[in-house]
Amino acid sequence: MTLPAAPAFAPPDPDYEARVRDSFARQPFMAHLGAQIGAVGPGRAEVLLPQSEAVTQQHGFFHGGAVGAIADTAGGYAAFTLFPADSTILTVEYKINIMAPGRGERLVALGEVVRSGRTLTVVKIDVFAESGGKRVHCATATQTLICLMGRSDVRT
């Protein structure tokens, strides 16, 4: 059985990538964690979190809060790539399943839009722990986001 191809999306804003990267750069919490934005494409976004003591728990694994934070952010920016230039985004809800301890050199969260609606967008996020060039799938999340039309993405 062959899986269906991922949906192809046409962003309404041709400058979506610059808008996503600018928005990410204005997130103090992501900077505090040491997270970085990775690849960005229509309906997709990647957030990377290098290992550091500041984002671990008592066993030395990545803390579940750090896993959830980068999953939420990757999903949010995947959706944001498909929003108009004169809008902003907020998470309505997300659910995450942590399936394996996050241990390694870094975490990689990959958000992919499942359905982009006029108001609500649904995203799936997979989080991988990378070490020595190998990836372990450690978490999966689903997320719903809302498009706020006519609202600036810049804090006022």
For the residues of 60-112, what is the DSSP string, one character each? Answer: SSBPHHHHHHHHHHHHHHHHHTTS-TTEEEEEEEEEEEE-S---SSEEEEEEE
Return d(Cα 40, Cα 74) in angstroms, integer: 10
Give per-residue pLDDT as tens, 16-27: 999 999 999 999
In a domain, 155, yes or no: no
- Tell me what pLDDT residue 109 has: 98
Rounded to an integer, the average pLDDT of 143-153 is 95
Rounded to an integer, the average pLDDT of 77-96 is 97
In a domain, 6, yes or no: no
In this predicted structure, the answer to whether residue 7 has a pLDDT above a threshold of 80 is no
**What CATH number is attached to the domain comprising 73?**
3.10.129.10
Better-predicted residue by pLDDT, 121 or 6:
121
Q: Count up the domains in the chain and report the number.
A: 1
In a domain, 30, yes or no: yes
In a domain, 41, yes or no: yes
In a domain, 10, yes or no: no
Contact 90, 148 (CB under 8 A): yes
* Structural domain boundaries, residue 73: 16-149
With b for 16 or more beta-carbon neighbours within 10 A and e for fewer, the 104-113 pattern comes to bebbbbbbbb
- Tell me what pLDDT residue 29 has: 97
First to last CA, the chain: 51
In a domain, 50, yes or no: yes
Binned at pLDDT 50, 70 and 90, residue 5 comes out as low
In this predicted structure, the answer to whether residue 90 has a pLDDT above a threshold of 80 is yes
Contact 74, 115 (CB under 8 A): no
Rounded to an integer, the average pLDDT of 47-76 is 97
pLDDT > 70 in the chain, percent: 96
- Tell me what pLDDT residue 8 has: 86
In this predicted structure, the answer to whether residue 57 has a pLDDT above a threshold of 70 is yes
Token code pair at residue 57: 């728990």
Q: What is the pTM of this model?
A: 0.94
In this predicted structure, the answer to whether residue 141 has a pLDDT above a threshold of 60 is yes
In this predicted structure, the answer to whether residue 87 has a pLDDT above a threshold of 80 is yes
Binned at pLDDT 50, 70 and 90, residue 32 comes out as very high
